[in-house]
Amino acid sequence: MRGEPSRPGEFELIARHFRPLAAKYPGALDLGDDAALIEVRPGWRLVATADALIAGVHFLASDPPSDIARKMLRVNLSDLAAMGAEPLAYLMTLALPSDTDEAWIAAFAEGLAADQAQFAIVLAGGDTVATVGPLALSLTALGQVEPGTELRRNAGRAGDVVLVSGTLGDAALGLRVCRGELAGLAPELRALLVQRYRIPEPRLALGRALVRGRLARAALDVSDGLLADLGHICETSGLGAVVEAGRLPLSPAAQAALAGTPQLIGDALGGGDDYELLFTARPSWRGRLRAVQSHVGDLPITRIGIVTRDSRLTVRTAEGDRDLPAGFEHFR
Ligand code: ADP
Ligand code: MG
């Protein structure tokens, strides 16, 4: 992004760096036609989601370009996972300041190539434009799901248990490390937390297992923070929930951070960017839960609370219950 621009024209850039990302997808037409042709399995439904990222707002222009690319792809894949969809293809729009050099674009494309291979998704098209503003990126991910099996936010019921995948709070703690906090933590633990902030893991296998195993009633991915996102399930389902703080799944790195500073539990309750799946299920569906667990290997699935009839969100701690007002986005 620095120095004199050394960059070929738009068509040449697309041909060199983006066409290889579309090579395995016949419907991309080698990025050589006016639009892509997307095939969905007969009887399945197309699932579409988009996210935009602006330099200086969502990432720093100095961040590694491959990390920016991978995070952009992965947050969209997380939305597909949260719908229970299988990934198909993505479209990508780049608004590039004139000083973006080709090395930046090459590294950006390398990040995409690595994740395409890992998550079975391909580039199908997009747009590339010049901008007088900051670097701006937008990615639209397309997936497919059997109609009627989509994981929706609004399907929770009173008495459901609340379950979450993986561990919570790592990304928020990783952001603290990036800002120079948590200096007392061992370097390898700090690195793990930063990694979780920079490169989230979309829980695609879990999303598909939830659909096939008919386990989830309501589901979404935790992007804004556990309480805010559980709040979305509660609002759309017209219900409340009790979360037991002592049950929140914490990584060894997060446990080490909390051992020194117990208030950091707020990062597990309120911190964003974890991209775990949060869902509700009938408490009696133990067999279904075991079946789903068997499809996701080591990924833990933890019961952290219960859905209630009144529309309050309550955090239960050793010190007692704490009710959160509606719109608890600003907990922390
Ligand atoms: P138009 O002028 O009709 O919008 P473009 O010249 O912008 O067409 O794009 C030509 C082809 O290149 C299209 O197939 C488009 O999808 C593809 N393309 C352009 N930019 C990108 C990009 N950033 N990523 C992937 N494909 C792109
Ligand atoms: Mg165009």
Whether residue 31 has its Cβ less than 6 Å from ligand 1:
yes
pLDDT (mean) for 117-123: 97
Q: Whose CA is nearest to atom 19 of ligand 1?
A: 127
Q: Give the separation between CA 63 and CA 6, rounded to whole angstroms.
A: 20
Do 10-145 and 161-325 agree at the fold level? no
Q: Residue 18 pLDDT more than 70?
A: yes
> In Å, what is the CA distance from 67 to each residue of 83, 93, 109, 237?
24, 17, 10, 35
High-pLDDT (> 90) share of the chain, %: 92
pLDDT digits (tens, 9 = 90+) for 52-66: 999 999 998 999 999
pLDDT digits (tens, 9 = 90+) for 266-285: 999 999 999 999 999 999 99
pLDDT for residue 326: 52
DSSP 3-state of 94: strand
Question: Tokens 């790592």 identify what position?
Answer: 170
Structural domain boundaries in the chain: 10-145, 161-325
Q: How far is the CA of 323 from the centre of ligand 1 (A)?
A: 50
Q: Residue 173 pLDDT more than 60?
A: yes
Whether residue 127 has its Cβ less than 6 Å from ligand 1:
yes
Q: Whose CA is nearest to atom 3 of ligand 1?
A: 34
Whether residue 122 has its Cβ less than 6 Å from ligand 1:
no
- CB atoms under 10 Å from CB of 19, counted, come to 16
Degrees, nearest 5: CA angle 209-212-215: 75
The CATH architecture annotation of domain 161-325 reads Alpha-Beta Complex (3.90)
Mean pLDDT of the chain: 94
Q: Whose CA is nearest to atom 1 of ligand 1?
A: 34
pTM for the full predicted model:
0.94
Residues 6+ apart with CB under 8 A from 120: 87
Angle between helices 102-119 and 65-83 (to 10 degrees): 30
Q: Residue 7 pLDDT more than 90?
A: no
pLDDT (mean) for 162-182: 97
Write down the CATH number for the domain with range 10-145.
3.30.1330.10
pLDDT for residue 3: 45
pLDDT digits (tens, 9 = 90+) for 222-264: 999 999 999 999 999 999 999 999 999 999 999 999 998 999 9
Ligand nearest to the CA of 137: 1
Instruction: Kindly indicate the confidence band of residue 2, based on its pLDDT and cuts at 50, 70 and 90.
Output: very low
